[in-house]
Structure 1
Amino acid sequence: MLDRSASIEQFIRENGITFHADQSQGAVPSDEDEETANRPWQLSVIPFVMGSAEWNVLSDGLVQRTHLLERILVDLLGEQRLIREGVVPGELFWANPVFSRAYHGLEGTPQKLHVTATDLVRGVDGLWRVTGDRTRAPSGLGYLLENRIVMGRVLPKLIRRSNTRRLASFFESLREHLQSLAPQDRSNPRVALLAPPSGSYREFEDTYLARYLGLTLVRGSDLAIRGGCLHVKTLGGLLPIQVLWRHISDRRCDPLELDPASNQGVAGLLRCVRHGRVAVVNAIGSVLAQTPGLMPYLEQANQFFFGGSLQLPSLKSYWLGDPQQRAYVLDHLDSLVLRSAYTVSSQEPIDTTRLSQQERAEFLQRIEADPGQFLAQERLAYSSTPVWIGGQVKPQRVALRNFQLIRGDRVEVLPGALARVGNDEMELSRSPVSGQRTLDCWVTSDVPLGKHKSLLPSGRNAIKLRRIGDELPSRVAEHLYWLGRYVERAEGISRLMRTTLSRLSGEETTEMAAELPRLTYALASLGQIEPGYAVDSFVAGLPNLDQVLPASVLDPEQPRGLIRTMQSVMHNATAVRDRLSNDAYRILRRAFRELNQPASASGRAVSEGMGYGEAIERVGTLIVDLLAFAGVTSEGFVRTHSWQFLELGRRIERADQTCDLLLTMLCPATENGKAICEAALEITDSLMTYRSRYLNLVRLAPVVDLIVTDDTNPRSVLYQLDRISDVIEKLPAVEGPVRLDAIERIVLDMQYQVKLADPYQLCQTSDDGTLEQLGKLLRGIAGRLPELSDAISAHYLIHTAATQQLTGTGR
């Protein structure tokens, strides 16, 4: 158990399985709250097991409830018979802040709900009850799938021996259903998953589902309405989207008709839906069916539409907007808990028994002022399940989130659930991403299961063969471009750090190491140490470099430091995780995690921080990891536009770093050039090549040739410019504020300058002892590289700027 539990933790850590929640407040995002902090996912090694007999009863109840919610939503967005005939009070919706008139009368597809979730608990009496419904865009489906994949690797034989029902058939049905909703081109439609902005609590799950189901992951800035149809903006132009699986709030889907401050959706989406040009899953307005205040009326609604009682009852609930129900609640206040009646909230329910006398009085005043905003529910003691925690089996309360797929008149229930455990009922009363430990839910069968169903297509439909595509959104291209730049920047910083630290820890004193002042200037230029270290008159008043430099490796306060640079690497890598291979992402995760390990205190006081040896080892390990990432992307990335923008970022950054380094190391006057040249060769990873060509004879001209003008050296300036030119030739010729030929001219001009340069002339010293010609060349290249970067951004990435509001004012 210990070994398997450790394997689960390692798998989660290496694959970056995370969710987002507010650690400081213990709260989790609601439907309207998106951005939160990152936290690791927790999965217990012991599964939650349910036999076929119990599951079949539960499944039948879920099917009946899902049909009811679909019927209710169709009615609320259409005839509204429930309200007109008094089954459900209209005030529950008219006063609801999530209600909008724009939801009513949207035609689109006749079916409104497609993917729903039901939150369930089992009382100590053994009966299951529903604590809430999720009909907007229920979260947890991706985590449920990931839990099963993890457990399948840790306990593969046990899962098979237990005849555990598989999940793949549900996801196959989901993919087929999404494709079947396309208004046209149903053989191979473009289905997109609309995710909230980067940093959302859904970020990992959305990326995971998009990759697993083969969907196009998009955000609001990627979308555009043209000719009444929805399109994704790519480098090659606009490409139509037939089906949009949205994971953003209803009111944020269309700033033109809903929230004008929203930049998560696209203006004109509702009009596009009305004309039947795109299918939206779930329907815009589906949030109404998950209104908590609706729960007291579901039994009556089922009687109204279908007759009979619900097989799967709700937790006893009371809406305080109803005078009779409010009177009951006030008389039994201490035996109930209260929550928001209008929206699914991230907060724990209010337990009046935990309130002080003053807090209780203030809460009663809130109820009197606006009773309709509250829903009261019975207290229920949840059943327990065994959980492996801290090397022991302990009982904890358990709650489930089940998922359903509606396909016309048929409801498919996923054979399992996202099982959550906690210390008490209040802890489990919040969202599945509120931080509780999870279990994989196994639905077992008494008989062996049939043939495994795969997500691979049948292959009956012919598909046009392709070699390269333009389906790269500009937002993704921007993140890939900056990922390349930050990865290269981190490697450059690490190489400079390692070279400097090795000199500081060597046998020679700092006064004898002629190259050390140049290395110090280079570090200051890159923002790794205080700029004062580059000014001789300031150095005397600053701490010794041998004390400052090792500590700077782990200093998160340095804006341009190694830690902050790797944070930028992970930000961009996470934003394009669906475009990176699992191996590439795992390498970056590992590099970031190992760099951020606390400094060991072996042989030193903790206050002394990191020593030379550990600092050198830390940056050396980072270099190896970044080289592994470069190798994986070089050998594993198909040469599409994704690879081209990653490559552009890497090459521009490497050229920029090399120019800055040589301006600092070689151009100033010096008396002892050998040590400085060797340091420059070491930082640029060219020392081995130099010695294979010239042995130990160090001269300035061959050093300059190797690092600047040698087009066969992958680290030279000219090599970077050649690769940049090759990539730009393959980019699509789209319209932009800067013409593509203007970008090409910038590159050609830099190539022309370097190719015409004579290394021997570049090494001629001027009257003041400096390499004036080399400095002029490098400053010219370094000055044009930002111009090139800006031109590329303006031509291909311009739409990623902040979206302007169309109407209204921001809130």
Structure 2
Amino acid sequence: MSVKTNTLFHNYLLDFSNYEELLTDESKIKPEWETLLGNLRAIGSKDLISKQADIDWLLEENGVTYNVYNDPKGLNRPWNLNIIPFIIHQNEWNTIEKGIQQRSEVLNLVLKDVYGKRELLSKGIIPPEVIYAHRGFLRPCDQIQYKTSKQLLIYAADLARGPDGQMWVVNDRTQAPSGMGYALENRFSISRTVPEFFNEINVKQPSQFFRDLNRLLLHAAPDNKENPTIVILTPGPLNETYFEHSYLSSFLGLPLVKGNDLIVRYGKLWMKSLIGLKQVDVILRRVDDVFVDPLELREDSYLGIAGLMEVVRLQNVTIVNPVGSGILENPALIPFMNNICKHFLNEDLLLPQIASWWCGQEKERNYVLTHLPSLVIKKIDRPNRERIFFCEFLSKKEMNELKLEILTHPYKFVAQERIHFSSAPNFVKGQLEPRNIVCRSFSIAKDNGYSVMPGGLVRVAANREELIVSNQRGGTSKDFWVVSDKAQHNIQHYSWQKSSSNQSYGLEDVPSNTAENLFWSGRYLGRTIVTARYMRMVMNQMNNVQYNDSESQSENLKILFKSITNITSTFPGFMDDKDGKAMKNPLKEIEAVIFDTNKSGSFAQTLSSFSNSFYSLRNLWSRDMWRVFESIQKVWTDYESLDNYSIVIHTKFFDRILTRLIAFMALIEESVLVKQGLLLYFIGLQMEQAMMTIAKFRSLVIVQYEEDLEYDILESLLNSHESLNIYRYSYRSFLSLENVLNLILFDKEYARSLTYQIKRLKKDIDLLPVRNSDDLTACKRTIFEALKKIEDVQLAELTAVDQNTKMRLKLEELLSELSDLLHATSLAISDTYFNHSYQQRQLVNQKIRR
């Protein structure tokens, strides 16, 4: 098949100048691509467009995101995967694999030496400034001994095709290499969406690599501890690759924790759980080196654990990769890597590197200054994403300023050859276009060597003319295929050794942050649903008044407007309306309650809080839940972006979002077991629903109104509670306060009654773990008091009206006391189980260069 004669390749070679992965040196299609292109042609351009849309939909539905800094599209930007995979034949891959294994071993030995004997420095193989001037060299890591056979346990190499047609190493990633989870998700997505791509193609699967990863984590535990506690340490949801942290947590079955989930005691590391402390043996780290211990490293870090470095020195915890490994992400090492390899292994590097010159050497510096326009200049470390200088694009003034900076601090700079990445086919608007690519491949320590993932992550430039390949600049990704002439099992099987199981078997194993987020997910979801139902009821009443001019209806609305402010706590709102502006234009105030994110208690703020708590727990949720969650976000985004609003539009929105919120609520029980923390969600949900039930009654029925008006108010209350039909079926009578109180407050069988909710709260809170059988926690005492108080009331007393105030004072007293007790219960739960306030600080400040 010829490229020129295939319609998919129209104008493909229009501006062809770089190495093209698709073609041989004779401009013929490589055999490994030939079958794939035949499969593409069989599918056809029209169906390929449809299947690319399916991939985009699938990734969005599954919540696959990459957080782009300062992205106007929002924090959780959908991950982009192009339908056309990148292909390398097994024959070429064998060479790359051996090169990655060799480089992994060399860097492992460098890491041992830099913090150990430092022979590389004493023998002059590396200049001292290369190490000591790099921010990645951390003195607290000096001379630490490890029990693992290797120190560098996970390594990633960024590869690009050099001018000689070979894959070159462009960057080394050693602190917390990202991309494994994205690579795996890419494979799952392509396999599911276009399985016909694999017809007659033998693609190697990464199953064994991930089994090796699981085995590595298991065997990294100190003293070969059986069934160790392994956690994944994340900076949190704002990190750019937080999706991957959650993904690996779910995929490997490991707890996802933040720094304040962990604490150091007695020379060991412990995870804060609901019942107390559980020892942690292994950390898969996704937090950068300097942030892991505020006692010895960056004192302003809230991401790490105070005292962690001392636990490492005592060999009571293993960190993957060890703290201090960031020194290997140093481009100033590249010019010396071949000599380092000869020193340790007595052999040359198998994989070529990008040509680099460290400016701390006079000869190399002179070369750089002479050839500056053709080079790329980097600082030897870039912790704050400092600028890379592509000198061919600099002005004369910028060039002179850069020269002066190099001459002033030469040891801080590295120059690299400006290479043009190879290109590979990308499917764009029905045709194939070339795009520059960079590949990232991964290795993990295994026995006496390293296991390499067959393939990895391919990043693709955003545009045809784009020279820089970066996800932060809007790039996309590709599935990475290593194809073989031998038949492969295209079905992926992932199973872990039984002894490596790290699942939570009880509430005492749930990390405290996870438990807290589950609790608040329940509370925010409950508040969102109750608020939406109440606002919808008010909108319906407003719509009715347009066609009904009765005085009772108008008075009813005024009471409902004030109740909105009370129930949502969006004060002053309708409550302090001395000039009457809110009442004259109630829809304006209501829309502020809906949309104003700066208004505490607004629907927008509550929905945002729910979304944040949900996102923090993404490793727990099923794919169906992600689909419903994404549909909630879409309904809100579409509604928020409208130019004009009306009562009907508001009502339709609340109808739509309520359906999805309730579907979401129903799916939670399918995602999390009670013993995995679902109990905390139930407690939060019931707590919020009970408190808002109380708020509705205090807003609507404490004051006695005229008969017709009171009837309207009671009907509105039942409507907002979705209980009008149940009331009619239960009582078959006109509305009366006594019956409404009986149903909504005191019915022990009705799941939405206050009594039922408080009983359910007591039952669930009684299941929370305690440190010993005699420990009756404050939350158990307060909820017991609330239940006793509501069960002991006399209905006649509650309906009695004080003739001076025209208020039901006993009812108000009961509801106020119940509200206070529920609030106290919530605070007691937080104090007992979610206390993350403990923080240590350095006694002596040390300067960590930033």
Same fold by TM-score, threshold 0.5 exceeded?
A: yes
Aligned to 2:29: none
Residue by residue, what CA displacement relative to the aligned partner does 1:117-146 show, whole Å, maximum 9, x if unpaired? 000111465222111101111111111111
User: Which residue type is aligned with residue 59 of structure 2?
Assistant: I
Please say if residues 255 and 511 of structure 2, whose CA atoms lie closer than 8 Å, have aligned partners that are also in contact. no
Aligned to 2:839: 803
Q: 1:676 aligns with which of 706, 709, 713?
A: 713
- Does residue 1:10 correspond to 2:47, yes or no? no
> Which shifted more, 389-398 or 366-375?
389-398
Please say if residues 269 and 311 of structure 2, whose CA atoms lie closer than 8 Å, have aligned partners that are also in contact. yes
Shift of 1:665: 1.2
- Does residue 1:454 correspond to 2:493, yes or no? yes
Shift of 1:314: 0.8
For 1:490 and 1:85, the matched residues in 2 are separated by 66
Please say if residues 87 and 301 of structure 1, whose CA atoms lie closer than 8 Å, have aligned partners that are also in contact. yes
- Does residue 1:581 correspond to 2:622, yes or no? yes
Q: 1:742 aligns with which of 757, 778, 800?
A: 778
Give 1:47-446 correspondences, 5 Å limit. Answer: 47-109=85-147, 110-123=149-162, 125-159=164-198, 161-184=200-223, 186-343=225-382, 346-347=385-386, 349-423=388-462, 429=468, 432=471, 434-446=473-485
Distance 1:626 1:465, change over 3 A: closer
Please say if residues 527 and 558 of structure 1, whose CA atoms lie closer than 8 Å, have aligned partners that are also in contact. no
For 1:144 and 1:485, the matched residues in 2 are separated by 35
For 1:348 and 1:238, the matched residues in 2 are separated by 44
Aligned to 1:595: 636
Q: What SS class does the counterpart of residue 271 from structure 1 fall into?
A: helix
Q: What SS class does the counterpart of residue 587 from structure 2 fall into?
A: helix
Distance 1:803 1:754, change over 3 A: same
Q: What SS class does the counterpart of residue 420 from structure 1 fall into?
A: strand
Aligned to 2:825: 788
Number of residue equivalences: 793
For 1:481 and 1:659, the matched residues in 2 are separated by 20
For 1:349 and 1:266, the matched residues in 2 are separated by 32
Shift of 1:739: 6.7
User: Which residue type is aligned with residue 614 of structure 1?
Assistant: I
For 1:761 and 1:435, the matched residues in 2 are separated by 66
For 2:671 and 2:251, the matched residues in 1 are separated by 18
Distance 1:809 1:774, change over 3 A: farther
> Which shifted more, 738-747 or 274-283?
738-747
Please say if residues 462 and 476 of structure 2, whose CA atoms lie closer than 8 Å, have aligned partners that are also in contact. no
Please say if residues 319 and 376 of structure 1, whose CA atoms lie closer than 8 Å, have aligned partners that are also in contact. yes
- Does residue 1:644 correspond to 2:644, yes or no? no
Shift of 1:756: 1.8
Shift of 1:210: 1.3
Distance 1:589 1:450, change over 3 A: closer
Aligned to 2:43: none
Distance 1:551 1:300, change over 3 A: same
Shift of 1:432: 4.9
> Which shifted more, 115-124 or 578-587?
578-587
Aligned to 1:759: 795
For 1:21 and 1:465, the matched residues in 2 are separated by 32
> Which shifted more, 413-422 or 16-25?
16-25
For 1:515 and 1:390, the matched residues in 2 are separated by 57
User: Which residue type is aligned with residue 314 of structure 2?
Assistant: H
Distance 1:421 1:637, change over 3 A: closer
Shift of 1:715: 1.6
Please say if residues 261 and 810 of structure 1, whose CA atoms lie closer than 8 Å, have aligned partners that are also in contact. no
Distance 1:554 1:388, change over 3 A: farther
> Which shifted more, 779-788 or 675-684?
779-788
User: Which residue type is aligned with residue 746 of structure 1?
Assistant: T
Aligned to 1:30: none
For 1:568 and 1:361, the matched residues in 2 are separated by 50
For 1:436 and 1:373, the matched residues in 2 are separated by 29
Distance 1:174 1:47, change over 3 A: same
User: Which residue type is aligned with residue 160 of structure 2?
Assistant: V
Q: 1:771 aligns with which of 798, 808, 811?
A: 808
> Which shifted more, 368-377 or 339-348?
339-348
Q: TM-score if structure 2 supplies the norm length? A: 0.88
Shift of 1:429: 5.0
Q: What SS class does the counterpart of residue 703 from structure 2 fall into?
A: coil
Distance 1:596 1:178, change over 3 A: same
For 1:515 and 1:739, the matched residues in 2 are separated by 49
Shift of 1:24: 5.6
User: Which residue type is aligned with residue 762 of structure 1?
Assistant: L
User: Which residue type is aligned with residue 315 of structure 2?
Assistant: G
Please say if residues 155 and 173 of structure 2, whose CA atoms lie closer than 8 Å, have aligned partners that are also in contact. yes
Shift of 1:423: 4.9
User: Which residue type is aligned with residue 129 of structure 2?
Assistant: E
Distance 1:131 1:466, change over 3 A: closer
For 1:650 and 1:309, the matched residues in 2 are separated by 63
Please say if residues 582 and 588 of structure 2, whose CA atoms lie closer than 8 Å, have aligned partners that are also in contact. no
- Does residue 1:484 correspond to 2:522, yes or no? yes
Distance 1:227 1:541, change over 3 A: closer
Shift of 1:546: 3.4
- Does residue 1:494 correspond to 2:532, yes or no? yes
Which blocks of at least 5 consecutive residues in structure 2 are unaligned?
1-47
- Does residue 1:20 correspond to 2:67, yes or no? yes
Distance 1:267 1:126, change over 3 A: same
Please say if residues 380 and 413 of structure 2, whose CA atoms lie closer than 8 Å, have aligned partners that are also in contact. yes
Aligned to 1:667: 702
Root-mean-square deviation (CA, aligned residues, Å) is 2.7
Shift of 1:707: 1.0
Aligned to 1:714: 751
Please say if residues 620 and 671 of structure 2, whose CA atoms lie closer than 8 Å, have aligned partners that are also in contact. no
For 1:694 and 1:101, the matched residues in 2 are separated by 76
Q: TM-score if structure 1 supplies the norm length? A: 0.92
For 1:158 and 1:133, the matched residues in 2 are separated by 32
For 1:289 and 1:465, the matched residues in 2 are separated by 34
Distance 1:427 1:794, change over 3 A: farther
User: Which residue type is aligned with residue 173 of structure 2?
Assistant: R
Which blocks of at least 5 consecutive residues in structure 1 are unaligned?
27-35
Aligned to 1:553: 594
Please say if residues 639 and 653 of structure 2, whose CA atoms lie closer than 8 Å, have aligned partners that are also in contact. no
Please say if residues 66 and 411 of structure 1, whose CA atoms lie closer than 8 Å, have aligned partners that are also in contact. yes
User: Which residue type is aligned with residue 404 of structure 1?
Assistant: S
Shift of 1:730: 0.8
